[in-house]
Amino acid sequence: MGNTAAEFPQEAATASELIAYYPTEIAPGIVINMQTMYMTWLTMAIVFLLFFLAARNPKMIPSGLQNVMEFFMDFLNGLMESVLGIHGRKYMASFVITLFMFILISNELGVVIPQIGGHWTSPTNDINTCVGLSLTVALGVYVVGVARRGLGHFKHFISPSPAFLPLHLLEELTKPLTMALRLFGNILAGEILLIVLYKLSPWIIPEFWVMFSIIIGFLQAFIFTMLALTSYAIVFAHDH
């Protein structure tokens, strides 16, 4: 995988710091982790490029990149149809496929990019990215629910009885938080362990962890997407 994580830039190498986010204050009180921003832009570019190249010259019998992308799309369409139904799949396909591909590529960047001059992080090892993704899903449920069912979407908060309102509200608060923490914790822990392995043994051993981390990255993208689908399921429950 290249050089070891010991090659961090001098200004980022403190006694307790393993991952450098390069926080930058762009305005009084507003700090942005610049490495997260750079890697997020790179992720978006990769996702766009993958879809562009796969769809540029489609063939009846797919091969290469088109075959890989169609595999993921068929896989996700099957999940959506089983959870959301046919109408839900048609309504949510673009969002769900983009969400999955963004998280998948984000998860893998921190382990597949050669660690030259420092550790290049996955966007999803930053809690800000994970919270942003989970809030996007949570707020999207309200937007889609109201768009399809009007204010009647909120009836489930008092179902089967108004006494359940506090429990439903608590669930609405905790679900995005747990989704974000699950994704963040798994990706961050994997990258920290990879850095430590590179410090202890720059060759062979870290390569096995890289292969394992690639699988973990896929599983975490799948889990987050499944949790998102279950959140949207209530919107399309009456369409089944």
User: Can you say how many angstroms the Cα of residue 194 is from the centroid of all Cα atoms in its chain?
Assistant: 19
User: Which residue do the tokens 């768009």 mark?
Assistant: 147
Q: Flag whether pLDDT at 118 surpasses 70.
A: no
What is the distance between the alpha carbons of residues 42 and 48, in angstroms, rounded to a whole number?
10
Where is pLDDT greater, at 237 or 108?
108
End-to-end CA distance of the chain: 48
Q: What's the predicted TM-score (pTM) here? A: 0.85
**Residue in the structure block whose two tokens are 């999940």:** 79
Tell whether 48 is covered by a domain.
Answer: yes
Residues in CB range of 54: below 8 A, 6 or more apart: 65, 66, 68, 69, 70
The per-residue pLDDT for range 222-234, each reduced to its tens digit, is: 999 999 999 999 8
Q: Is residue 21 part of a domain?
A: no
Domain that holds residue 218: 5-15+30-56+63-239
Amino acid at 49: L
- Total of domains in the chain: 1
Helix, strand or coil, per DSSP, at residue 109:
helix
The pLDDT of residue 231? 93
| 40: pLDDT strictly greater than 80 | yes
Each residue's pLDDT tens digit, 137-177: 999 999 999 998 888 888 888 888 888 888 888 988 999 99
Q: Is residue 22 part of a domain?
A: no
For tokens 């996007």, name the residue. 136
- Residue 41: inside a domain: yes
Q: Residue 23 domain-assigned?
A: no
pLDDT band at 102 (very low <50, low <70, confident <90, very high): very high
Q: Is residue 139 in some structural domain?
A: yes
Query: In the prediction, which pLDDT does 192 show?
Result: 86
What are the tens digits of pLDDT across the range 18-36?
677 888 888 888 888 889 9
Rg (CA), the chain: 20
